[in-house]
Structures are given as structure tokens and as C-alpha cells.
């Protein structure tokens, strides 16, 4: 702050303008790269309709426990449930026999005479397929933890980056606080059927992004070269 | 009289911000190399683009803004405050280009959450995210947790003499050793030692849990970054519940405690001064609050009928308490269950420990147990003073490295920051309540989690959350990480700048 003061306007305007151009440019770049979902990845499971009605949320220790009671009344033993319905009112499903359809993702953790599997029933599992192969963003993942005894777990292919895993239909008993998993919510399966085999999905590279990467690296290298020349 | 900044000051600030861009470019280069090795070409292109843009800014700053001018306290404070804003925007570029974020705001939220070691996430379809991009998310925890500003400037500046201000402005209370550069290197030594030990232990427990081969190592490294830097991101959407492993949870618990310990305490232990563990005010306060709120949470879970086994109470209840108190934010169950299955007392205990936070001078957020301890001692001193003769001199002391007296300025500083945190928690909750979608419990839970840089969520934070609330949480995460003062100073600097232009 000593000496002759310099102009401030360019120092303020330039970075703000750069950031605005950067963000708008990147948004435009993404918007131009249209990626429709692959209809072949849809797993309809129409023969197993989901539990009907809205998702009802129950809360413990609240004076009005009526929602939980309503939830209990509408459950038909063996009916297909979604993970969202179960976590919204876990007490209502505790100890009930249910059917569940979803994609095995990540790892099948084989141990203790069986295996743990995370089975997702979100849109990426049952409808649109994994990102970023398409641009139909449908929110976060959701699923249930499933315990598979040794007799059921043979050769499941879990979903991973670039692969939609096996979509399975499991039937079993839902345990709200499973003592075998230190209180975790578990679907202890006794039946399993693979409804759709795992499939690799192609993740295309956007040529415009390649061009942008090349330009960004070229600019950095160019300025570095200029600096070197000036120093010499 | 306020200083009137001019173009020369902005040049200095711009030059040092360029160094932050350099650190970010290097940070992106590592996962880019992993992407190439794994043939994840789309992720590689996104990461190279981000690195190229950051490197261009760095080179531009070196070319046009290079200066030998002295970095003043005002410059340093503004650099730190802006570094988190500019840094998170640049860090958001690869995330946005990954195709897992709806718009740039979502990607910016994720980057800010990563760098501030918050751990709240709005990523779409995490379970199919490229390995390299997922690794990059966790790497932002490490870069932010180890203090990206101090990292960039201490490792790449010729001298540490002019950057001491950055260290303090970044929310680290004091130097551990006299030189800032040596302090930064000690921080990296500690982090390096824990990185090796933690990764080995996690890999072993993950292999035992059933995740073999290189995937076990990949999970271990990511989990280490998130645990030791009290971040909270996890490689999969179901966080730590994914592993169903007491061993993994035990190792993570140790790393979370190590992460929430101040680096000064690490240094004391490193130097063989183990008695510091028993005398340090922060350790004592942390043990007291963790014990007290754990008892409350366990009672609440038993009363609500949520868990009736010791395993459930320990591995769900106490792990969550530790995760919240340390500022990590790892979850061992679906976030919705805090509302639908945990009753009312246990979530309240979780909110309380999130608000309190970990130790000052660590990667944890929140009010910090040092301030809680100081405020409590100050309050007790006042009560004692009232009960003693007027002529009596009442002195309160605390132990932090050495015995210190609680002076009025120390107490005022502690209570001021404490008050600012509480106001920020309430402000965030009020903004959420404005939308009319969530009840007050959920609004407070999520607001405290954001402002205290924790990352536990009851489900408000999602890709579909309102934009206004998303911006509020971004602001809260930034303010919480800076502990307010650097942010306020930056605003004051801006006002002075506008004032000087008008004259």
C-alpha cells in the first residue's frame, strides 16, 4: 500500500469475467453433448407391481403414530417394496416377508457362510442405466443391504463404473435392526432370481471436451514458453 | 483509519492465488494419471481439462503478476478467504465435466464440501462414478484438510517469512514449531505416517471383509483421506454401512480421533510428551463431551427401541457420535433413519456434538472444544469470583502445550466465535424452514452439519435440493472452514476497495 497506487478496475473485472465465461462455457459444452438413455437397459418387472400408495414416513416417539399403523395395514406379505418405502417407515416392515428388485452394485462381500450385497433400486439400476453414459440425471442412489446365504450367491456380477450389474429379484425377511449386522437394516434373502444379466455400457468421450482439454493445456504451455523466452 | 487497497495490492493477491491454482493443477494430475492407467478416458479428459485451466491461471499469474512485494496480514487474509472460493470453483471443473452433476452449482457444492472437509454430497449415481473421479473427490479432502493454502505456499515459496499470516488466517491457531514452513512439513510428516499405517490397516480389514485385490487398496486410500481429514465422503452411496465390518469401523474410529486431534497435540506426542494427553484442555473437554453425549444417545436409542443389542448401540450409536464429534460425517445407516427410526434424543445428541466439533488446529470443524473449554472455565471463574470476597483475585488457567492464563481477550475471542457459529447454525436452519418442506429437527440437523463441516445428512442435501438452500450451505461450509474472521476481513477489504475507488 506504499508508493503510487495502481488502477483497481482491471484487476477486479478480469477475474470475474473469466469465471463467468468459464462457467457459462462449461454449461454450454455439457448441454451440447446430448446422451439419451439406452432403452435396452430398462428392467420393467411389471409382473411384480410395487407396494401401492404414497411413501409414508413414520417417526418414533411422536404423539401421532397413525402413519405407521396405516403402513402396516397396507402391506401384503410377499409384496414388492422399494428401498425408499422401507427406510421411510422401517418399523412397519420389521420381520415382514417382502420381494425386492434391484441392481447388485460394488462388491459381493463373501464371508461367514454367505455374502453381503448392496442392491440398488434407483433409476440408474432399473431404468436409465449408469451415468455418465446418458444425461438423464435422477438423483442419488438408493438401495438395501441384502444378506445372501451361500446357496444363493453364485457368480453375481455387481455394477461398477461402466457396467450395469446383475438386476436381481430377491425374496426374504426384512430385519430392521439385524443383530448379525450390529443393528443394520437387512433383507435376509432366501430366494434369488437374476432378472437381467450384467451389461457393459459404453461411456463416450465428448470431442468438444477433448478440444477444450487440448486448448487449456496449450495455453498453460504457451504462457510457460513465453515466460521462459522473456527470462532468457 | 482503514487501509485503502489499490491495484498493487490486488496484484499481490492475484499472484498468490496463482500458486493456489498451481496446487490444484497438481492435485488433479494425480487422479488423471490413474484415469489413464484404468482407461477411464472420459474422466481423464475431464481431469486434464481442469488441470489445464488451473495451470493456465497459475502461469498467467506468474507471467503478469509476479512480484517481490511483502505479503501483509490484510493480503494474507484475503488470499486465504478467496483461495477457498476460487479453489473450489476450479476444483469443480472436472466434477462438472464428469457428467454426474446436473449443473455447475452442484459441482461447486461438491468441490466446496470436499475442500472444506465437510462431506455433504450431491453427486448423482455415485455407485457408477469412475474410480479416478471418485478418488479425486476424496483427494479434495486431503488437499483441503492439510490446508491447501499452507501447502501451496510453504512447499513452493522461496521463503516462509511472509506467509505466516496465511497460516493463522486459515484457522490454524498457532505455529507448532517456530517456522511456518517447518510446521507445514511436520503436518505432512504426521499425515504421511498415518497415510501409510492407516492404509495398510484399512486394506487388511477390507480384504478380511471380502473386498480383495486392488479394489481393497482403492477403498482403503479413499477411506483414509476421508477419515484422517475428517471429511466424510465415501466411495459408495451407503457410506460405511457398505462394509458390514467391525474391523473397518474400528480402524476408521482411530483415524477419526487422530484427525480431530490438533497438530500441536500430535507434535507433543511425537516429541514424547505423553502427559499432554492427560492435561490438555481440549482432550479433557473432548472426552467429557463425547462421554456425556454418548450416554445421552445410547439412552435415547434404548428408550426409542431403535436398538436392543450392545452391537447395535456401539456400532451404530457410538460410531455415529464419534463420526459427528470428530467432524467426519461417516454414516453407518441411511440418513433418513435418523428421523424415522432413531427417536428424538439420539439425533439431538448427534446435532450437539456436530455443533461442538473437534480440536482447534485440526481438520475438524465446528465451534471447537478449545472454545467450549475456555468458555466453561471462564464461566466458572465468574461464579467463583461472585462467591469470594471482593478483594480476592480469581485467575483461571488452562493447559495447552503449557499452562496459560485465561485473559479477557482470549475469552472474548472464544465466545465471539462460539456465538457466530450458533448464529450461522440458526441462519441455515431458518433458510431451510423458509421452503416449508422440512421440519425444524431436519433443518437444524442439516444446517449444523454444513456449518460445522461434518457431512451427516438426514436427506435434505441432494441433487434436487433448492438452489437457494444449496448456496446457503456453500456459504456455511466456507464460513465454518475459515472460522469467520478471514471471510469478514475479505468483505471489509472489498468495502475499502470500493471506498477507495469512489474517492
Q: What is the pLDDT of residues A193-205, one digit of tens each?
A: 999 999 999 888 9
For residue A212, list chain B residues with Cβ-Cβ distance below 8 A. 49
Q: Is B164 on the interface with A (CB under 8 A)?
A: no
* Confidence category of residue A148, pLDDT binned at 50, 70, 90: very high
- Shortest distance, CA B169 to any CA of chain A (angstroms): 20
* Confidence category of residue B3, pLDDT binned at 50, 70, 90: low
Chains A, B: CB contacts within 8 A come to 261
* Confidence category of residue B137, pLDDT binned at 50, 70, 90: very high
Between residues B139 and A68, the one the model is more confident about: B139
Which of B21, B37, B218, B244 to mutate against chain A (most A CBs within 10 Å)? B244
Q: Which of residues 294-313 of B touch A (CB under 8 A)?
A: 303-309, 311-313
Taking all residues of chain A, what is their mean pLDDT, rounded to a whole number?
A: 88
* Confidence category of residue B457, pLDDT binned at 50, 70, 90: very high
Question: What is the model's pTM?
Answer: 0.93
Alpha carbon A59 to its chain's center: 26
- Quick check: B167 and B175 in contact, CB under 8 A? yes
Does the pLDDT at position B153 exceed 60?
no
Nearest to B206 by CA among B236, B245, B239, B232: B245
Q: Is B247 on the interface with A (CB under 8 A)?
A: no
Which of A213, A221, A228, A230 to mutate against chain B (most B CBs within 10 Å)? A213
- Quick check: B141 and B233 in contact, CB under 8 A? yes
Between residues B376 and B500, the one the model is more confident about: B376
- Shortest distance, CA B83 to any CA of chain A (angstroms): 13
Alpha carbon B131 to its chain's center: 23
Separation between Cα atoms, residue B85 and residue B73, nearest integer Å: 19
| pLDDT tens per residue, range B275-285 | 989 999 999 99
| pLDDT tens per residue, range A29-84 | 999 988 998 888 888 777 777 776 677 788 887 766 666 666 667 777 778 899 99
Contact (CB<8Å) A124/B215: no
Q: What is the pLDDT of residue A155?
A: 87
Q: Is B237 on the interface with A (CB under 8 A)?
A: yes
Q: What is the pLDDT of residue B159?
A: 46
Nearest to B244 among A27, A30, A116 (CB): A116
User: Averaged over B218-225, what is the pLDDT?
Assistant: 97
DSSP strands (E only) in chain A: 97-111, 114-120, 143-149, 163-164, 167-178, 184-196, 199-200
Separation between Cα atoms, residue B6 and residue B11, nearest integer Å: 9
Residue of B nearest to A105 (CA): B127
Helix, strand, or coil (residue B8): helix
Q: What is the pLDDT of residue A65?
A: 64
For residue A131, list chain B residues with Cβ-Cβ distance below 8 A. 99-100, 124-125, 128-129
Does the pLDDT at position B160 exceed 70?
no
Q: What is the pLDDT of residue B161?
A: 46
* Confidence category of residue A218, pLDDT binned at 50, 70, 90: very high
Q: What is the pLDDT of residue B166?
A: 56
Alpha carbon B424 to its chain's center: 16
Q: What is the pLDDT of residue A1?
A: 42
Nearest to B89 among A19, A110, A137 (CB): A19
Contact (CB<8Å) A139/B124: yes
User: Averaged over B55-75, what is the pLDDT?
Assistant: 88
Separation between Cα atoms, residue B341 and residue A94, nearest integer Å: 12
C-alpha cell at B293: 453425549
Residue of A nearest to B3 (CA): A1
Separation between Cα atoms, residue A119 and residue A106, nearest integer Å: 9
| pLDDT tens per residue, range B173-215 | 555 666 667 777 788 888 899 999 999 999 999 999 999 899 9
Q: Is B496 on the interface with A (CB under 8 A)?
A: no
Q: What is the pLDDT of residue B158?
A: 46
CB atoms within 10 A of CB B188: 16
Separation between Cα atoms, residue A98 and residue A116, nearest integer Å: 18
Contact (CB<8Å) A182/B316: yes
Question: Which residues does A13 contact at the CB level (< 8 Å), separation at least 6?
Answer: none
User: Averaged over B221-250, what is the pLDDT?
Assistant: 96
Which of A24, A37, A123, A141 to mutate against chain B (most B CBs within 10 Å)? A141
Question: Which residues does B450 contact at the CB level (< 8 Å), separation at least 6?
Answer: B118, B120, B428, B461, B472, B473, B476, B477, B480
Share of chain B above pLDDT 70, in %: 92
Burial of A94 (0-12, 13-18, 19+ CB in 10 A): middle
Does the pLDDT at position B142 exceed 60?
yes
Does the pLDDT at position B163 exceed 80?
no
Contact (CB<8Å) A58/B98: no
Which of B22, B83, B340, B347 to mutate against chain A (most A CBs within 10 Å)? B340
For residue B69, list chain A residues with Cβ-Cβ distance below 8 A. none
Cα within 13 Å of Cα(A47), Cβ side: 2
Beta bridge partners of A163: A160, A200
Instruction: State ipTM.
Output: 0.93
Contact (CB<8Å) B242/A106: yes
Q: What is the pLDDT of residue B24?
A: 94
Segment holding B290, helix H or strand E: helix B281-304
For residue B241, list chain A residues with Cβ-Cβ distance below 8 A. 145, 184
Contact (CB<8Å) B104/A26: yes
Which of B21, B99, B101 to mutate against chain A (most A CBs within 10 Å)? B99
- Name the DSSP class of A117: E
Q: Is B128 on the interface with A (CB under 8 A)?
A: yes
Separation between Cα atoms, residue A101 and residue B344, nearest integer Å: 32
- Shortest distance, CA A40 to any CA of chain B (angstroms): 18
Separation between Cα atoms, residue A113 and residue A74, nearest integer Å: 35
Query: Mean pLDDT lowest for which of B308-317, B340-349, B395-404, B455-464?
Result: B395-404
How far is CA B132 from each of CA A116, A229, B181, B231, B301, rounded to the nearest angstrom?
Answer: 25, 36, 31, 18, 39
Q: Is B334 on the interface with A (CB under 8 A)?
A: yes
User: Averaged over B364-377, what is the pLDDT?
Assistant: 93
User: Averaged over B356-368, what is the pLDDT?
Assistant: 90
Q: What is the pLDDT of residue A130?
A: 94
- Quick check: B108 and B88 in contact, CB under 8 A? yes
Q: What is the pLDDT of residue B308?
A: 87
User: Averaged over B391-416, what is the pLDDT?
Assistant: 89
Does the pLDDT at position A12 exceed 90?
no
Beta bridge partners of A146: A117, A187
Between residues B103 and B181, the one the model is more confident about: B103
Q: Is B503 on the interface with A (CB under 8 A)?
A: no
- Shortest distance, CA B413 to any CA of chain A (angstroms): 28
Q: Which of residues 192-231 of B touch A (CB under 8 A)?
A: 208-211, 215
- Quick check: A71 and A92 in contact, CB under 8 A? yes
Helix and strand numbers (H, E) in chain B are 22, 2
- Quick check: A101 and A168 in contact, CB under 8 A? yes
- Name the DSSP class of B274: T
CB atoms within 10 A of CB B145: 25
Cα within 13 Å of Cα(B499), Cβ side: 11
C-alpha cell at B448: 449444523
Amino acid at each position: 500500500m506504499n508508493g503510487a497506487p495502481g488502477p483497481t478496475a482491471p484487476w477486479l473485472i478480469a477475474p470475474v469475467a473469466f469465471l463467468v465465461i468459464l462457467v457459462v462455457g462449461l454449461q454450454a459444452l455439457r448441454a451440447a453433448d446430448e446422451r439419451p438413455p439406452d432403452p435396452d437397459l430398462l428392467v420393467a418387472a411389471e409382473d411384480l407391481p410395487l407396494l401401492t400408495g404414497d411413501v409414508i414416513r413414520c417417526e418414533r416417539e411422536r404423539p401421532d403414530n397413525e402413519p405407521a399403523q396405516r403402513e402396516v395395514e397396507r402391506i401384503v406379505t410377499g409384496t414388492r417394496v422399494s428401498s425408499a418405502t422401507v427406510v421411510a417407515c422401517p418399523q412397519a416392515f420389521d420381520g415382514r416377508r417382502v420381494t425386492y428388485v434391484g441392481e447388485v452394485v460394488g462388491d459381493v462381500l463373501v464371508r461367514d457362510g454367505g455374502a453381503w450385497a448392496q442392491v440398488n433400486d434407483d433409476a440408474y439400476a432399473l431404468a436409465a442405466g449408469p451415468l455418465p453414459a446418458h444425461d438423464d440425471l435422477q438423483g442419488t442412489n438408493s438401495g438395501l443391504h441384502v444378506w445372501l446365504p451361500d446357496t444363493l450367491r453364485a457368480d453375481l456380477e455387481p455394477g461398477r463404473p461402466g457396467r450395469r450389474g446383475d438386476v436381481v429379484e430377491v425374496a426374504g425377511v426384512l430385519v430392521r435392526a439385524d443383530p448379525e449386522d450390529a443393528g443394520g437394516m437387512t433383507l435376509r434373502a432366501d430366494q434369488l432370481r437374476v432378472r437381467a444379466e450384467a451389461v457393459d455400457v459404453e461411456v463416450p468421450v465428448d470431442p468438444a471436451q477433448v478440444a477444450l482439454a487440448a486448448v487449456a493445456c496449450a495455453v498453460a504451455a504457451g504462457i510457460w514458453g513465453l515466460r521462459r523466452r522473456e527470462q532468457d | 483509519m482503514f487501509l485503502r487497497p489499490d491495484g498493487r495490492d490486488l496484484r499481490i493477491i492475484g499472484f498468490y492465488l496463482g500458486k493456489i491454482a498451481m496446487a490444484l493443477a497438481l492435485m488433479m494430475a494425480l487422479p488423471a494419471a490413474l484415469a489413464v492407467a484404468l482407461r477411464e478416458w472420459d474422466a481423464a479428459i475431464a481431469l486434464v481439462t481442469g488441470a489445464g485451466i488451473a495451470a493456465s491461471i497459475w502461469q498467467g499469474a506468474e507471467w503478469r503478476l509476479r512480484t517481490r512485494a511483502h505479503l501483509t496480514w490484510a493480503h494474507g487474509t484475503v488470499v486465504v478467504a478467496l483461495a477457498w472460493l476460487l479453489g473450489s470453483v476450479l476444483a469443480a471443473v472436472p466434477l462438472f465435466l464428469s457428467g454426474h452433476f446436473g449443473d455447475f452449482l452442484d459441482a461447486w457444492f461438491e468441490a466446496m464440501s470436499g475442500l472444506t472437509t465437510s462431506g455433504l454430497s450431491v453427486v448423482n449415481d455415485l455407485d457408477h462414478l469412475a474410480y479416478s473421479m471418485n478418488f479425486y473427490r476424496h483427494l479434495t479432502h486431503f488437499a483441503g484438510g492439510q490446508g491447501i493454502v499452507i501447502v501451496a505456499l510453504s512447499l513452493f515459496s522461496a521463503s516462509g517469512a511472509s506467509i505466516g499470516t496465511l497460516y493463522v488466517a486459515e484457522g490454524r491457531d498457532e505455529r507448532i514449531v517456530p517456522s511456518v514452513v517447518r510446521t507445514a512439513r511436520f503436518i505432512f510428516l504426521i499425515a504421511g505416517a498415518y497415510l501409510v499405517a492407516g492404509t495398510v490397516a484399512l486394506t487388511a480389514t477390507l480384504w478380511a471383509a471380502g473386498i480383495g485385490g486392488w479394489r481393497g487398496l482403492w477403498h482403503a486410500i479413499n477411506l483414509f483421506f476421508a477419515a484422517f481429514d475428517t471429511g466424510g465422503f465415501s466411495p459408495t452411496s451407503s457410506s460405511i454401512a457398505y462394509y458390514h465390518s467391525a474391523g473397518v469401523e474400528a480402524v476408521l474410529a482411530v483415524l477419526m480421533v487422530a484427525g480431530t486431534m490438533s497438530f500441536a497435540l500430535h507434535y507433543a506426542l511425537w516429541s514424547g510428551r505423553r502427559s499432554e494427553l492427560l492435561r490438555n484442555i481440549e482432550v479433557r473437554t473432548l472426552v467429557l463431551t463425547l462421554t456425556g453425549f454418548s450416554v445421552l444417545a445410547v439412552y435415547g436409542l434404548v428408550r426409542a427401541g431403535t436398538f436392543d443389542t450392545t452391537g447395535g448401540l456401539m456400532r451404530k450409536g457410538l460410531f455415529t457420535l464419534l463420526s459427528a464429534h470428530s467432524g467426519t460425517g461417516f454414516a453407518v445407516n441411511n440418513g433418513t433413519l435418523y428421523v424415522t427410526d432413531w427417536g428424538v434424543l439420539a439425533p439431538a445428541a448427534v446435532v450437539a456434538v456436530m455443533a461442538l466439533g473437534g480440536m482447534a488446529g485440526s481438520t475438524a470443524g465446528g465451534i471447537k472444544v478449545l472454545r467450549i473449554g475456555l468458555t466453561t472455565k471462564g464461566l466458572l471463574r465468574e461464579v467463583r469470583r461472585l462467591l469470594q470476597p471482593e478483594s480476592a483475585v480469581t485467575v483461571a488457567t488452562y493447559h495447552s502445550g503449557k499452562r496459560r492464563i485465561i485473559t479477557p481477550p482470549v475469552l472474548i475471542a472464544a465466545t465471539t466465535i462460539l456465538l457466530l457459529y450458533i448464529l450461522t447454525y440458526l441462519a441455515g436452519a431458518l433458510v431451510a424452514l423458509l421452503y416449508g418442506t422440512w421440519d425444524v429437527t431436519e433443518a437444524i440437523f442439516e444446517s449444523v452439519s454444513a456449518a460445522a463441516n461434518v457431512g451427516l445428512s438426514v436427506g435434505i442435501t441432494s441433487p434436487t435440493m433448492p438452489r437457494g438452500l444449496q448456496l446457503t450451505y456453500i456459504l456455511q461450509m466456507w464460513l465454518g472452514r475459515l472460522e469467520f474472521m478471514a471471510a469478514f476481513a475479505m468483505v471489509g477489504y472489498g468495502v475499502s476497495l470500493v471506498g477507495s475507488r469512489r474517492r
